[in-house]
Amino acid sequence: MDDINENKETMIMFLQNFIDDKNTPNVFEIIDDLIAHNPNKKLKLDFSVSIDDDGNSTLHWLSNLCLVDVILDILKIYNCNEFNNEDLYLKYNQNLQMILDFKVLNNYQETCLCQCVKSRNSYITRSFDKMLEIYQDLIDFKDEQNQTILHFLTNNYLPEASEYYLEHLLHFSKGKYELNYYKSWVNTKDKKTGNTILHTCSINNHFDLIKILLKYGADPYITNNDHTRSVDYGIGDVSFSNKNLSLKLLEDELFNINEIYKQDNQNYKEDMVELEKSLNAKRLENIKLQKIITQNDLLQNLDNLKTYNFLNDGLLKQKEILKSQYDNFPEFESFIKTFMEQDSHRQFMIPLISQDLLEYVDDGIGDNLNQKLVNELDELSVEQLDTMIETYKSQNNSLTNLLSTIQKQKEVELQKYRELIAKSLDMPINEPEEIDRLIKNMSASIDNQ
């Protein structure tokens, strides 16, 4: 018992620093001072032990006061070890024993999270989200009457603050829990009356909380132990509940819609003014641009006209050249025909060094014809000479093909002769070299004779 009382006094002394001092003191300094006052004994800090008549622990008080940073520093010391924070571990491991249980309840089965929504401190400091992070494992806690933090929040209604707490609590919980579990939790009935939190809010006309609950999935058609639904309750008189509740909600909703409309209308007017300014600026810009484009088009058209005239002159000149060449072609054709008739078997002996120059004509052609050829060929154009050369090549190819055919026929006849000799002398036909040697010797003997 003495040990419990001593620990209780120590925790009260610890907490007193944060109640008396307007500026939140440093947790580490307070703990260091407490250790210094007990140099011969290991300091024990039990944050779960009851320190008042209602059974509240130091954690309950810190939560009610919304001393988030203090709680986080306590957690830092409690969770430190030689791996994650060696300095703190070495500092407090030998001379500090800390006991910390977030699930501790006071005499009314209230958790530390209940203490957060019991006062306005978390609302004033806007620190409730941080408290939810710290105490998130307590959100779905249910007491002996099967009441949740939602029932506690509604039963301890604080204007504006409760609305803030409920909105953040439901938003956090909807993201934390699986959907079916969340729906079951938000519609939890207490054992005594079977009321959900929506029943309680409807009975007490907490319209601000009702709107939030409906937004986050509270079911208004669940019945309590008296078989009454949330929608059956209204402002004061049960018999007119539906009408009164609906009218109030409708009025609030219409007011909100009207405010939104006013704001949207104002935004629309401002946007239209800005749009008109932008359009006018674009119009001026387009007019300037159109003038520039018109000037550029005129200059471009002038350049194009010059180019077209130049090309037209060139085409006309080219047409005259082609016409001149075409007019001379019949004379050239007649010359080629005459030349080929006079000495067609000698025409392939005329070598042309280039398309433009006839170097010489073979001596086999008469001098007069030779001179005539030179004179006439000098007057020919490149195209006409090309035609002449192609004609020569064509006839040359024809003679080459004829010689090839004769050679092939010769080989055929020679092969027949080989077969005849081989058959006469009873020799194998697959030895053509031996047969050819024999034929050569026979021919030589015949020549000698």
Check residue 428 and give its pLDDT: 76
What pLDDT sits at residue 345?
A: 40
DSSP letters of 294-305? HHHHHHHHHHHH
Domains 1-138 and 142-233 share a fold: yes
Cβ neighbours of residue 94 closer than 8 Å, sequence gap 6 or more? 42
- Cα 233 to chain centroid, rounded: 51
CATH of 1-138, picked from 1.10.3720.10, 3.30.365.10, 3.20.20.70, 1.25.40.20, is 1.25.40.20
User: Can you give the pLDDT at residue 392?
Assistant: 62
**Helix, strand or coil for residue 393?**
helix
Domain 142-233 has CATH 3.30.450.40: no
User: How many Cβ atoms sit within 10 Å of the Cβ of residue 11?
Assistant: 22
Q: What is the pLDDT of residue 332?
A: 47
pLDDT of the residue at 355: 36
Give the residue carrying structure tokens 């120059």: 357
Judge whether 133 and 88 are in contact, CB under 8 Å. Answer: no
Cα distances from 58 to residues 13, 14, 30, 283, in angstroms, run 10, 9, 14, 72
- How wide is the angle at C-alpha 443 spanned by C-alphas 438 and 449, nearest 5°? 125
Domain boundaries, the chain: 1-138, 142-233, 258-346, 398-449
Q: What is the pLDDT of residue 364?
A: 40
**pLDDT score at 356:** 36
Q: Residue 394 has what pLDDT?
A: 65
Q: Is residue 46 helix, strand or coil?
A: strand
**Residue 238, pLDDT score:** 37
**Cα separations (Å) of 30 from 3, 20, 98, 281?**
21, 13, 14, 68
As a whole number of angstroms, the distance between CA 252 and CA 254 comes to 6
Closest to 345 (Cα-Cα) out of 395, 402, 401, 406: 395
User: Cβ(147)–Cβ(197) under 8 Å?
Assistant: no
DSSP-assigned letters across all residues of 417-444: HHHHHHHHTT--TT-HHHHHHHHHHHHH
* C-alpha pair distances (Å), 214 with each of 177, 187, 397, 449: 18, 11, 103, 137
Report d(CA 383, CA 19) in Å as an integer.
Answer: 116
The pTM for the full model equals 0.52
Mean pLDDT by 10 residues, the chain (449 residues): 76 85 78 85 90 93 93 91 82 88 93 94 94 95 94 92 96 94 95 93 89 90 90 52 51 70 80 81 75 62 58 62 56 50 41 37 44 59 66 64 69 73 71 73 65
What pLDDT, on the 0 to 100 scale, is given for residue 381?
64
pLDDT of residue 35: 87
Whether the CB-CB separation of 385 and 373 falls below 8 Å is answered with: no
Residue 65, number of CB atoms within 10 A of its CB: 20
pLDDT given for residue 281 in this prediction: 80
